[in-house]
Amino acid sequence: MLVPLAGALRAFLALVAALAMTATSSAPGTAPRASITSSGASASARTTTSAGRSAVSSTAAPASSATTLGPVVRGQATHYGPAAPGGNCMFPTVPADKLTVAAGPDLYAGAAGCGGYLTVTSGRRTIRVKIDNQCPECGHGHIDLSDEAFAALAPLGRGLIPITYRIVTNPRLSRGLSFVVKSGSSRYWLALLVDNTGNRLRSVEVQTSGAWRALSRADYGYWVADSGVGSGPFVVRVTDVAGHRAVVGGIRLTPGAIQQTAARLYH
């Protein structure tokens, strides 16, 4: 009987040791759990910012980037002339289809509306237009379309038509973000324009001395650092009103040049 009892005792002691090892390996603060945290959550926050490359921060963007439409606004539309670069938003180019709109003060909102999109409907026709200008005299619901946009809805001779419009979130875009450094910029004063954002922007920041410096939005579409941020190249962080964020490196202090990138705020 002694031999079977000794075997049973050894089996019992081995079971206790195994249970103890299992409890130790799963205890809070042990190396396996720390390894998962550093290679999971922390890694997803990193972005590539080397010159000429860009990345979108996965921790800043919402899970969905599907195109959605805001509430319907009823009003009227006029037209102001052919689509052209410039306007209050100072974008250097216009969309290929030339469907643009000058927004009233409520939509333009001190340039906060620049780069956003609307769907505009009149009768059975609907178009998508980019906000690139301001219509100071337009009241709520009144928008001023480019000739090309108006003509896509009705003959130009009508002059004034009833419309409805909706703000578009995450419109589909054919190109990535582009940047323009304003003429007169230097290491002591910087004005930066961001185009092809799709959504309206919430903030633009430049990395300096290891920290992010927020630029101020001017009412003419540029983002300004009054005391400058050095001579570049710059790393720029762009955040839109939907919460998407992109970090782009290699933006040069080259006033007037359109610096096209592959970076996007959403896909």
The pairs formed by 31-35 with CB atoms below 8 angstroms and a separation of 24 or more are none
Q: Are residues 154 and 179 in the same domain?
A: no
**Residue 98 domain-assigned?**
yes
The CATH code of the domain that includes 209 is 2.60.40.760
- 218 and 203 both lie in a single domain: yes
DSSP the chain: -HHHHHHHHHHHHHHHHHHHHHHHHTSTT-HHHHHHHHHTHHHHT----STT-EEE-TTTS-S----EE---EEEEEEEEES--SBTTTTBSS--TT--EEEEPHHHHGGGTTTT-EEEEEETTEEEEEEEEEE-TT--TTEEEEEHHHHHTTS-GGG--EEEEEEEEES---SS--EEEEPTT-BTTBEEEEEE--SSPEEEEEEEETTEEEEPEEPTTS-EEETT---SS-EEEEEEETTS-EEEEEEE---BT-EEE-S--S--
Q: Is residue 11 in some structural domain?
A: no
| CATH number of the domain residue 118 falls in | 2.40.40.10
Q: What is the pLDDT of residue 151?
A: 98
164/195 same-domain check: no
Query: Is residue 266 in a domain?
Result: no
- Say if 210 falls within a structural domain: yes
Among the three residues 108, 143, 169, which one is the final residue of a domain in this structure?
A: 169
Boundary (domain end) residue, out of 169, 195, 221: 169
Longest dimension (CA), the chain: 111
* Pairing assessment for the beta strands 190-195 and 100-103 based on DSSP bridges: unpaired
Q: Are residues 97 and 114 in the same domain?
A: yes
Q: Are residues 75 and 163 in the same domain?
A: yes
Q: Residue 24: inside a domain, yes or no?
A: no
Mark whether 109 and 59 lie in a shared domain: no
HSE-up (13 A, CA, CB side) for residue 186? 3
- Same domain membership, residue 185 and residue 165: no
pLDDT mean for each 10 residues of the chain (267 residues): 42 41 35 25 30 38 74 98 97 97 97 98 98 97 98 98 98 96 98 98 96 98 97 97 97 98 95
Same domain, 160 and 236: no
Query: Would you say residue 241 lies in a domain?
Result: yes
Q: Which domain holds residue 185?
A: 54-64+174-260
Q: Are residues 155 and 196 in the same domain?
A: no
The reply to whether 163 and 184 lie within a common domain is no
Per-residue pLDDT, 64: 54
Q: Which residues pair with 201 in a beta bridge?
A: 240
What is the pTM (predicted TM-score) of this model?
A: 0.77
- Backbone φ and ψ for 249, nearest 5 degrees, come out as -105, 165
What per-residue confidence (pLDDT) applies to 65? 86
CA distance 57 to 248: 11
Predicted local confidence at residue 31, as pLDDT: 28
In a domain, 5, yes or no: no
Residue 151 sits in the same domain as residue 229: no
Predicted pLDDT at 48: 33
Q: Confirm whether 47 is domain-assigned.
A: no
| Residue that finishes a domain, picked among 138, 169, 200 | 169
